Amino acid sequence: MRIQLSDHFTYKRLLQFVFPTIVMLIVTSIYGIVDGLFISNIVGKNAFAAVNLIMPLLIALSTFGFMIGTGGSALVSKTLGEGDQDKANQYFSMLIGVTAFVGIILSVLGFIFMRQIAWWMGANELLLDECVLYGRTVIVANAFFMLQNVFLSFFVVAEKPKMGLAVSTFAGIFNIILDFLMVYVLQMGVFGAAVATSISQIVGALIPLVYFLHDNNSLLRLVPTKLYWRALGSVCFNGSSEMMTNLSISIVAMLYNYQLVHFAGENGVAAYGVIMYVNMIFLSFFMGYSVGSAPIIGFNYGAKNIDELKNLFCKSLKLNAVIGAVMTLAAHVLAEPLSLLFVGYDEELFEMTVHGMKLYSLSFLICGYNVFSSGFFTALSNGIVSAVISTLRTLVFEAAAVLIVPYFLGMDGIWFAVSIAEGMTLIVSFVAFVKCRAVYHYV
């Protein structure tokens, strides 16, 4: 049964609608995770540390796609809610073109300056060459990766989340197969893992591009368009919180690596890499719910359906509480087997990773509320509140915590930093919900 944005959403219907998006984001995160798994176990922990050192830069260069995907889906779903499908298709088409153009520019700049940036990020002689090799190979496909992320958001707006799931699953499986062939069978090392990721990202972007270029039974299609400067500015401003979230994650990851090199050397960077891979999967549940529910919220806001907006808000808070508890428990139970999978060959590194993962995972208890609050205000086209929440959460609070707390608690302070930042952000989210309720009437 097809679920439409205009439906009334029970818990079951809401979960059915957001579930494909959650799985999409999990599968998308598999790209880097599979690379790390093969590199760590086959190439070695120094190569694994090199990839983890350059990964924040690659994420940072793709953040424009997250901004267009979230801000654009809010605008297009709101336009659909207002009943103007032609305009919605023109906005959609413009945003795809802008993403491709910016992605190509960032790819060229990233390729040229990769060595200088890797050195600035702390890569020593032992790690530098493999940092640059992996980074330059993956950055070639940056425009396609950005397009893939944008299309994943718009598949939800088009009422085709299952198709987005199918595309991302196919690309993810394709990446695993290529990693196996290039890293394990052909012994191509870091370069092989990077090539596998790049090809998979290209495939993940081309399939939806072909779909939306042709006649289809979804709400969206790529059509001739022009630059709508005001709409583009609104999308960039409104989606800036999600871009800032991902950009901040990259910046903070660099600070984590800096502190870990100081406190634990290459082992610390490798342990953090494993924790970040696991964090990407668990965070996908919260991000997937936020991205998946945003078009429904935006549609009902555009249609001025206040009762349904209240319904979505209340159900979302309760669901995030349940997801947070389940994620925290799962992280504690799976800490040892997941660490064993990545770094079981090194006992000291294994023990450090398990301990760090258990402490880090406490943040999942409250993380969902903060991710949802930022995405909720983006869906309501309130980019200012959304940007304040995401910037404080992922940059200001966490950067301060990771720089200060370790000098009181040592290594444990590094792992506790994210929980402290999430707790401080939760206060900001609560204040924002209270202050804005009279404007949007969601309670």
Tens of pLDDT along 332-381?
999 999 899 888 888 888 999 999 999 999 999 999 999 999 989 988 88
Chain mean position to CA 437: 28
Share of the chain above pLDDT 70, in %: 97
Banded pLDDT at 308 (limits 50, 70, 90): very high
Which residue blocks in 214-361 are alpha helix, DSSP H?
229-264, 266-302, 306-343, 347-360
Would you kindly state where each structural domain of the chain is located, as residue ranges?
Answer: 11-440
Residue 292: pLDDT band (50, 70, 90) is confident
pLDDT band at 329 (very low <50, low <70, confident <90, very high): very high
Contact call for residues 128 and 118 (beta carbons, < 8 A): yes
pLDDT confidence of residue 152 = 82
Contacts of 325 (CB under 8 A, 6+ apart): 365
Task: Please report the pLDDT score of residue 31 as a whole number.
Answer: 63
DSSP code of residue 183: I
Tally of residues, the chain: 443
Scored b (16 or more CB within 10 A) or e, 17-33 reads bbbbbbbbbbbbbbbbb
What single-letter amino acid sits at 68? I
CB-side neighbour CA atoms (13 Å) of 25: 23
Looking at the predicted structure, is the pLDDT value of residue 29 above 90? no
Mean per-residue pLDDT of the chain: 86
pLDDT tens-digit readout, 257-286: 778 777 777 778 788 888 888 888 888 889
Q: How far apart are CA 38 and CA 35, in angstroms?
A: 5
Tell me which residue of 258, 257, 320, 256 sits closest to 283, measured CA to CA. 320
pLDDT class of 242 with cuts at 50, 70, 90? low
The residue-averaged pLDDT of 15-26 equals: 84
- The pTM score is 0.71
Q: Are 378 and 386 in contact (CB under 8 A)?
A: yes
Q: 122-126, 278-282, 294-298, 350-354: which has the minimum mean pLDDT? A: 122-126
CB-CB contact of 232 with 175 (8 Å): no
pLDDT score at 303: 85
Q: How does residue 106 score in pLDDT terms, banded at 50, 70 and 90? A: very high
Taking 90 as the threshold, does the pLDDT of residue 64 lie above it? no
